[in-house]
Structures are given as C-alpha cells and as structure tokens.
C-alpha cells in the first residue's frame, strides 16, 4: 500500500506477469491438442490451437466468423492452402507462435 501512495505503479510486476503469461501460452498451450478448440492444417502440418487466441489476427477473426463457417469441418479443422513457395512451415509456425505471445527471444 505504501508503494502505491508513493506513486509506485507496479509496472515491473505487471510486465513480469505479462511475460509469464506469454511464456505460458507459448510453451504450454500452443499446439496442445487436449486444450485446443480448433485445428489448422497448413503446409501439411497440423496445429491444435484456440479460437480466442487466433482472433487476435484479423485474418483468423474473419476466417472463424459465422460468414465463413462453411470452411470449418465437423472436427473443427480448417485446411489453409498456401500457394506461395516463399512461405515455409517454419514461417507459419513462427507467425502462429507470435499470436500466442512468443517474442522469439
């Protein structure tokens, strides 16, 4: 309480909590099948993910909207075709991990 009265906003602890949450999301639930509610197949790789996290991206938010619900099969799986040979599975993995808070450090 004294720290708050002196103007201590707790920013360091807030940043630490955010870092811990990002690490947890990236390490514990990214591509973790038991807790996922959607799977994506991209470039032959299947990812077990979470709609709430994917919706951070406008692309996935649109893809998961009711407007495109026909893209999602009965098993909550979406296959995404990528025709650009410059996009690799490593790049897709990195982009998805970034949505989960991975800072690539």
pLDDT surpasses 70 at 2 = no
pTM, entire model: 0.72
Q: How far apart are CA 101 and CA 17, in angstroms?
A: 12
Say yes or no to pLDDT of 27 above 60. yes
9-13, 55-59, 62-66, 76-80: least confidently modelled range: 9-13
Q: Where are the alpha helices (DSSP H) in 1-105?
A: 2-5, 11-24, 51-54, 58-63, 89-99
């Amino acid at each position: 309480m004294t720290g708050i009265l002196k103007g201590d906003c707790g920013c360091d602890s807030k940043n630490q909590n955010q870092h811990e949450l990002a690490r947890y999301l990236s390490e514990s639930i990214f591509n973790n099948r038991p807790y996922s509610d959607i799977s994506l197949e991209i470039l032959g790789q299947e990812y077990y993910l979470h709609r709430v996290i994917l919706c951070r991206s406008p692309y996935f938010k649109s893809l998961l909207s009711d407007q495109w619900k026909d893209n999602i099969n009965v098993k909550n799986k979406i296959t995404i075709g990528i025709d650009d040979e410059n996009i690799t599975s490593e790049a897709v993995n990195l982009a998805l991990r970034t949505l989960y808070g991975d800072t690539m450090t």
